[in-house]
C-alpha cells in the first residue's frame, strides 16, 4: 500500500487554504462572478459576487489567507461611466470597521477574522486563519464595478492586480454599457 500513501501525502501538500472556498463558489448557483488572485508570498485573494434575488442586491465576498491584518481600500464605478474610481456613498459601507480614507477618495474597510463555516480550514493538522470582508450593493445603487486595492493595516504593503486596481464587475448592472465598450474594442 505504499503507492496510495504517497499520492495521498502529495495531495495534502498541494492543498491551499482557499481551495475549499473557491470550490464552494464554483458550485453555488448564486455566484455570478468569481476570481482567485495570487498576491505573492504564497498568499491568495478570492473574490466572488453573488446575486441575491430576494434582497435585490449583490454580495461581494473578499477572502484572503494573508497572515497579517488587511484593509480593503475601495471605490465604485458608476453605471454608464467609464471605469472611473469614485468614492463610495456612505450607505454602501458595510456595518463594520469602515471609514473614509484620509484623501476622501475611497473607503477603508478592515478585514475581520472569517467566522463562516467554510473558513474553518485545517491543513496538515493546523488551522489556517482566513480574513474576510463582505460588501452588499443594491441593484439600484447605480454601481457597475467595485474597484479596490489592498493594503496591510500598517500601510507598509500595497497590493494591486498587476499594475492596476482590482475591478469586480457587477453582472447586469451595466450590461448595456459593457456592450457599448466591447464594440469600441476596449
Q: Is the pLDDT of residue 95 over 50?
A: yes
Whether the predicted pLDDT of 162 surpasses 70? yes
Grade residue 3 by pLDDT with cuts at 50, 70 and 90: low
Q: Quote the pTM value.
A: 0.82
CA dihedral 84, 86, 91, 92 (to 10 degrees): 50
Amino acid at each position: 500500500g505504499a503507492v496510495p500513501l504517497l499520492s495521498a501525502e502529495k495531495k495534502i501538500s498541494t492543498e491551499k487554504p482557499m481551495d475549499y472556498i473557491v470550490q464552494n463558489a464554483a458550485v453555488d448557483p448564486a455566484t455570478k462572478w468569481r476570481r482567485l488572485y495570487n498576491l505573492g508570498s504564497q498568499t491568495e485573494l478570492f473574490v466572488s459576487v453573488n446575486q441575491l434575488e430576494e434582497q435585490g442586491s449583490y454580495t461581494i465576498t473578499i477572502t484572503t489567507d494573508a497572515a497579517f491584518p488587511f484593509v480593503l481600500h475601495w471605490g465604485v464605478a458608476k453605471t454608464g461611466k467609464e471605469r472611473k474610481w469614485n468614492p463610495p456613498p456612505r450607505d454602501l459601507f458595510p456595518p463594520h470597521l469602515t471609514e473614509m480614507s484620509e484623501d476622501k477618495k475611497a473607503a477603508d474597510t478592515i478585514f475581520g477574522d472569517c467566522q463562516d463555516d467554510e473558513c474553518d480550514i485545517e491543513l496538515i493538522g493546523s488551522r489556517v486563519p482566513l480574513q474576510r470582508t463582505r460588501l452588499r450593493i443594491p441593484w439600484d445603487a447605480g454601481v457597475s464595478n467595485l474597484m479596490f486595492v489592498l493594503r496591510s493595516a500598517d500601510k507598509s504593503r500595497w497590493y494591486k492586480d498587476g499594475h492596476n486596481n482590482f475591478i469586480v464587475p457587477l453582472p447586469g448592472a451595466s450590461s448595456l454599457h459593457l456592450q457599448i465598450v466591447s464594440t469600441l474594442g476596449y
